[in-house]
A and B are shown apart, each in its own frame.
Chain A
Amino acid sequence: MENQILIEARELSRRYGATMAVSGLNLTLRKGEILGLLGPNGAGKSTTMKMLAGCLAPSGGEIKINGVDLAQDARAAKSSLGYLPEQPPLYPELTVNEYLRFCAGLHGIPGAEREAAVTRSKQACGLTDVAERLIHNLSKGYQQRVGLAQAIIHRPPVIILDEPTVGLDPIQIREIRTLIKQLGESHSVILSSHILPEIQAVCSRVMIINKGGSVYSESIENTAQHRVESVIAGLRRPPSIETLKGLPGVNRAEALDGGLFRLAVDKGADPREALAEAAAKNGWGLFELRSQAKTLEEVFVELTSGDITVHETQKEAA
């Protein structure tokens, strides 16, 4: 059951009056995945997450959570779900303990197990020391953690986090990211953000949403591998440019300073192995070899900016 599908959304759409916030969006989340939702402001990330969490009814399409249709059996579907909205849903006048106890009860954890669930959730989110303090008096970072603790208290198979690191300082961001990574080991997580390095650091798969639809969905590994743009090779005794150009998968070669060469690569090809072999055989003195991948940022900009053609032309020229 490694590839069990936990969230399946098909042809999801949501209309606010005349504007379509989300249209025809398909999304699947498998067990053990951390899926990152990326998109420019107003792309429909939050709307999508609200729909997945059952806070907003979709105008069209269907959502299945853990195999249960959200529209038909909302209670069962929601019970396998933990949701942290953009604004953590806290009651500032309660203490962390009181709040978490309420959340445990709300998610149907029986009275006898409630304390254990609260303790576990506090430990996971580093809240044990502030357990008796009023939420109102906690810093933004701690409040965010309380929000996270709330989302995982009933050990849901799926956790939905809407911009969990917004408004935190760099240290808190690191802590929350570590926490999310830990959560990813035992839960499946959907995470939205517009911070690209965050997605790269935390997620196993990335999905880019633009204008209410999915425009890109690929694992982080593939994002790095598939998009090898060029290879930088450092050779002590280089052959002629023509020889380098002749290597399989290379379509252009140019010399840089200090014995470095940049080899532009055919789409999908990776000439590194061939280059290393040739260098060893012919004694070129290979001292450096690295690929230059297209970063997620470049992919993002390419897919979300309206003028793709202009952008690509500029790249060609450069």
Chain B
Amino acid sequence: MSTVLTIARNEARRIFVSPLAWAVLFVLQLILGFIFATMLFGYAQNAQVSDQYQGVADYIGGGLFGFATVLLLLVMPLMTMRLFAEERKSGSITLLFSAPASLIEIVLGKFLGLVSFMLATLVLLAIMPLTLLSGTHLDVGFIAAGLLGLFLMMLAFGAAGLFVSTLTREPTIAAVLSFGLLLLVWLIQIVANQQIPFAAVFGYLSLIGHFESLRRGIFNTADVVYYILFTVFFLWLAVLRLDIERN
């Protein structure tokens, strides 16, 4: 376990000393801040829309988080592409492979390091709706469910991206491929809406469907379990892939 934490700490340090992480956080915050402000003004000027929503938390929080998922879909592959691809390219991966650490520890450590970035994103995202607390009565539970949903979604994105990063030695290829993979799993929802057999199965597999209820403040264990299974599955694939590489 201490090996996992050592690797995680190092990974987190490397993420936050790179300008990439800060550039990504900057762009995210800029765009989401813009969206947030626009929605806030829209809500203030046009109060009757609030009848269709369950208060300001639903309108602004839900709207903001819904938009954030799209942005994160674009951004997470950039954060995951380096994890293994770049290390393989520069040869630094041998440091981990020749150290007394198992593949599971290596993968978990790297993933946990990435989680530190997700938490930073989450904090920045949470601040915006929470500022409303000073001026209005806010349904904090609603916001919390939305943030939990976003976090779970990022875990899933991160795990899938990490797996793709083990497949190649070119970070850009890893980014493109994981973006494609995520979009595909996302869009399964479209298939689910068609009149075809097993539509319900496709609907269950889609990443977006499970976020929808959390975004609207409904906590359902099935959704949480879905994201955790998704994450574990891809991390496990990454371990398998690295093991094949050694043989």
Contacts and interface: CB of A to CB of B under 8 A. Distances in A.
Report, as a range, how many residues of chain A touch the other chain: 20 to 34
Interface stretch (B5-13, B141-149, B195-203): B5-13
A94 B92 CA distance: 13
Interface residues of B, number: 25
Q: Which of A93, A98, A103, A106 has the most CB of B within 10 A?
A: A106
Interface string B93-126: 1111111111000000000000000000000000
Nearest to A150: B95
B85 to A, nearest CB: 15
Interface string A99-130: 00011011110000000000000000000000
A117 to B, nearest CB: 14
A87 B6 contact: no
Given A102-B6, A106-B7, A54 B98 contact: yes
Interface in A61-101: 74-76, 78-79, 81, 83, 85-94, 98
B93 A89 contact: yes
Given A55-B246, A79-B100, A89 B94 contact: yes
Contacts of A91: 10, 14, 92
B91 A106 contact: no
Contacts of A75: 100-102
28 contacts: A55-B94, A55-B97, A55-B246, A74-B102, A75-B101, A78-B98, A79-B100, A81-B98, A83-B94, A85-B91, A85-B94, A87-B90, A87-B91, A87-B94, A90-B90, A90-B92, A91-B10, A93-B14, A93-B17, A93-B18, A94-B13, A102-B6, A102-B9, A105-B2, A106-B6, A106-B10, A106-B100, A108-B3
Given A55-B97, A105-B2, 16 more contacts: A50-B94, A56-B246, A78-B100, A83-B94, A83-B98, A85-B94, A87-B94, A89-B95, A90-B90, A90-B92, A91-B92, A98-B13, A102-B10, A106-B7, A106-B96, A150-B95
A103 B95 contact: yes
Contacts of B95: 89, 103, 106, 150
Contacts of B96: 106
Interface string A33-76: 00000000000000000100111110000000000000000111
Given A106-B7, A108-B3, A55 B92 contact: no
Interface in B172-219: none
B52 interface: no
A53 B95 CA distance: 10
B247 interface: yes
Nearest to B17: A93
A92 B89 CA distance: 13
Nearest to A108: B100
Contacts of A54: 97-98
Contacts of B13: 94, 98
B219 to A, nearest CB: 38
Contacts of B7: 106
Q: Which 8 A-B pairs have the closest CB atoms?
A: A87-B91, A89-B95, A105-B6, A83-B98, A89-B92, A79-B100, A78-B100, A102-B10
A84 to B, nearest CB: 9
